[in-house]
Amino acid sequence: MRLRPLATLALAASIVAALTACGGSAGAAGGAPPATYTAFANPVPVTITGYSGDAMEPFISKDGQLLFFNNRNDPSVNTNLYYASRVDDQTFSFRGAVAGANGAALDAVASLDQLGDFYFVSTRSYAATLSTIYRGSWSAGNIGNVALVPGVSLQQAGSVNFDAEISADGKTLWFDDGQYSPAGVLQSARIAVASRQDASFARLANSATLLAAVNSSGLNYAPCISVDGLELFFTRVDSVTSGASPAIYRAVRATTSSAFGPAALVSSASGFVEAPSLSADGRLLYFHKLVNGGFFIELMRR
């Protein structure tokens, strides 16, 4: 799950520890297996030459030339944003840290629209603002004019937006509302959507209706929206209990004003997998996977 460790928010539990302790695979609530989507298949590892650490939360730029990611989401390390340039679909060359985006707090979950606006999640000011989603201007490896994105946070203690992705055109922001107990236990995670209003965002009045089928069961997070807005990939966990682990799902709709239908499991992404990122042409799906205690980025083709 993106942004698992929330110690900097004074929430004691680490979700990563809870989830990695779980076995099995996610399925539909109530015992019935979910529908499956098999067009993506044959996962292969992504190589980031010049980088040897954990790689999580991949985001592939809309021109396909840059892969953004962060290192391990863990309270014991400083989680920062990095990027790499494309060699081919499966190989990238490490370019370094995203300058201007990183600090002493957790900085993770990158996305970039076609206008050059760069969005990411940071815990740097949560104690004072109850907000975590930031935006800045991307230019040649640097983020300038970094500021909080207004209009997204519910402004409630324990409510955390720990994932976000901006649409290609920069007009809609897809994110999740995570609700934590005072003890730091994640109680719910639901995907929501907001539209841009000049420099701010406003939650769509029908956001819950549009995503009712997506949020129908379990914890739902890490949204990834296609360029045309008709295809949504995301991560779902039935519950933070023994026997549940994250899996990647897909939901579709007929028009950008209609609701998404029931989600189907992307079955070829097996094991502990999260954080899908779809290429602009819809041909490639990147995600991260837990392998032998480390997190690595993988790729599937459609």
CATH number at residue 23: 2.115.10.20
Mean pLDDT of all residues in 113-133: 97
pTM of the model: 0.91
175 pLDDT higher than 50: yes
Q: Which one has a higher pLDDT value, 258 or 8? A: 258
Q: Is the pLDDT of residue 295 over 80?
A: yes
Tell me if 155 is assigned to some domain. yes
Say what the pLDDT of residue 31 is.
60
Query: Is pLDDT of 98 > 90?
Result: yes
CA distance 69 to 120: 11
Residue 42 in this model has a pLDDT that exceeds 90: yes
In a domain, 1, yes or no: no
- Is residue 115 a part of any domain in this protein? yes
Instruction: Tell me what the mean pLDDT of segment 78-95 comes to.
Output: 98
Average pLDDT over residues 208-224: 96
Q: What angle do CA 105, 110, 114 make, to 5 degrees?
A: 145
* 207 domain residue, yes or no: yes
Domain that holds residue 256: 7-301
- For residue 105 the two structure tokens come to 């707090």
DSSP for residue 59: E
For position 230, what pLDDT does the model report? 98
Coil vs helix vs strand at 73: coil
Whole-number pLDDT of residue 24: 34
**Over 50: is that where the pLDDT of 5 sits?**
no
Does 123 reside within a domain? Answer: yes
| Surface-to-core class of residue 205, CB atoms within 10 Å of its CB (0-12 exposed, 13-18 middle, 19+ buried) | exposed
What's the number of domains the chain is made of? 1
Predicted pLDDT at 118: 98
Task: Supply the mean pLDDT for the chain.
Answer: 90
pLDDT of residue 179: 94
CA distance 245 to 241: 9
Beta strand ranges found along 72-154 (DSSP E): 81-88, 91-97, 107-112, 117-122, 133-139, 142-148
Say if 82 falls within a structural domain: yes
Is residue 119, in this structure, part of any structural domain at all? yes
pLDDT of residue 27: 39
Residue 288 located in a structural domain: yes
